[in-house]
Chain A
């Protein structure tokens, strides 16, 4: 049968869901789908995730065309819901139609197994070609894919050896069988044959060096084996090609710190800034990574890189005032109070009543003003606000000593310092 006819037939017999915030966009796409063979009565067009949920509860959807950002979520959220609702519906086509052509959007589409990615504005020809290719692969899968599906079923049933047998047959049916190697790797991994699994994933990557599933499989093996340096190298590659996953970026930052790869932190920061959505939890991770890497560079006399990292914190993570406080504390500790003062201006106006700003401001002031009386005055104000911080207390006690306060007057502050921060207090003594 002619491929155009296959698409037409598919559209005639399947319900279509179009999701786009913009009514004009929905209507245009609806008209295009009718032109390609869909029946008007079986096309449902909505603007939000919630409306889509209502549709998928009652209708038997065969193809979904969704924009990246939709009301109340993203197209990926919708695709996830559909996969959960129809785990065995192999013919379900999930198509992203979007003007968001950022690397992160494309990578996320690859990660999320989206069947097709159509750029908006689209031509009738491009949409037709994409849908033909997607639908044909779904309803007329190659023998290789059929074999892999057979292997996946055995894998899910826990019949690992049988699955490996079937997947080995599949391996011979394709010139670049990366996917078959991935599932063989999965089966070996589940059998606890870690080395064989590693070999299988690497074989897959030999055929296709950016095969997402093989890269992730390899990463998981290395993490399980606590081979952090190897895991880091793999996940760095994943982040380069698939920068969209916030969870993974958080893992990478942890691994970079753990393996001492502080020099890569700028690259991860750039990935972070290119993300379409920056979750708070990720901002927290990137802030922590930047701070640790910056501290490492500062203590190793690489002041320029350290300040680059601290500036990144000031620009992108200032919502977490704890990082600005930590940077300022570190700089004051290292006799860089003039530099520290610049970071004070990065606190948001609303954050200036908070403990982080008050402590940071006190530490900068303690270096700026030579009069111990002034330092003690503002220090006691913080004390009375029940603020306790090792550097603050240490500075207050020092100022009191310098200001000629009697021992019995200083004693309560010293005692508090000792009791709260005994380790640090001993070290600094």
Chain B
């Protein structure tokens, strides 16, 4: 059973016959849903609320999805993850992933949309568990969603635009993927969903290159690691210190 509790989703489409049934289905599965008929309405909602995911038609009456994404990149501090609905050709899908659109769904296939976005978003159980614990996680665990598969990977070395991942599977250079992880920052739970692509596999793991649009979000994670490192070092030097 798919549960999307705790996740906020914006659906942007000019067709009410698509918007409303999808919103109802997502709400039934626990998500907090908002709908927008065009890009203008979508922008208003994006300013007012923090969304985890946007499902947008490729074509909106006042623009296309890439314009909406560009606007979000410029104006929002936390970028939601974008998915697109339409009738894509293979080449369209490839192009959209280069633009960091995490998934392209066929319109009216609500079942596939649901399972697709549930792979991208945080599950209710994991989210609830983290809320319950409200403590620092004991281990930094990163989940990666590649080619409709989700699995856990170990992060090794991290940089401003990439991370080395230790993982059993090997993917071709350029394969699109989405990283999913959560940390506790100042006693608040923060989730990260970061699109990007995999680079060539080398002996020391496979490099995941963070999509440019999400580098700001990525930096928050780097800052968290730095802060955590400083705290640990301080504690160690105080407890075992001079």
Contacts and interface: CB of A to CB of B under 8 A. Distances in A.
Interface stretch (B44-52, B56-64, B105-113, B232-240): B232-240
Interface of A: 22-25, 27-32, 99-107, 109-111, 113-114, 116-124, 126, 130, 144-145, 174, 176-179, 208, 210-213, 241-242, 276
Nearest to B157: A28
A241 B240 CA distance: 12
Given A105-B138, A121-B157, A210 B233 contact: no
Contacts of B232: 101, 106, 117, 119
Contact of B136 (A22, A31, A103, A178): A103
Given A28-B157, A124-B157, A99 B139 contact: yes
B89 interface: no
B241 interface: yes
B159, B233, B240, B242 pick with most chain A CB within 10 angstroms: B242
B196 interface: no
A230 B137 CA distance: 34
Contacts of B155: 99, 120-121
Contacts of A117: 232-233, 236
B236 A106 contact: yes
Prevailing SS type, chain A contact patch: helix
Contacts, number: 125
Given A28-B156, A123-B225, A101 B166 contact: no
Contacts of B226: 123, 126
B205 A28 contact: yes
Interface residues of B, number: 33
B242 A31 contact: no
Q: Which 6 A-B pairs have the closest CB atoms?
A: A28-B204, A102-B138, A121-B155, A121-B158, A24-B166, A24-B205
A109 B235 CA distance: 10
17 contacts: A22-B154, A23-B203, A24-B204, A27-B204, A32-B157, A101-B136, A105-B138, A110-B239, A111-B239, A117-B232, A119-B140, A119-B228, A121-B156, A121-B157, A121-B225, A145-B242, A176-B242
A124 B122 CA distance: 30
Contacts of B20: none
Contacts of B156: 24-25, 28-29, 120-122
Contacts of B77: none
A218 to B, nearest CB: 15
Contacts of A101: 136-140, 228, 232
B52 to A, nearest CB: 23
Interface string B199-242: 00001110000000000000000100110110011011011111
Contacts of B233: 116-117, 130
Contact of B240 (A30, A110, A144, A174): A110
A28 B242 CA distance: 33
Nearest to A241: B239
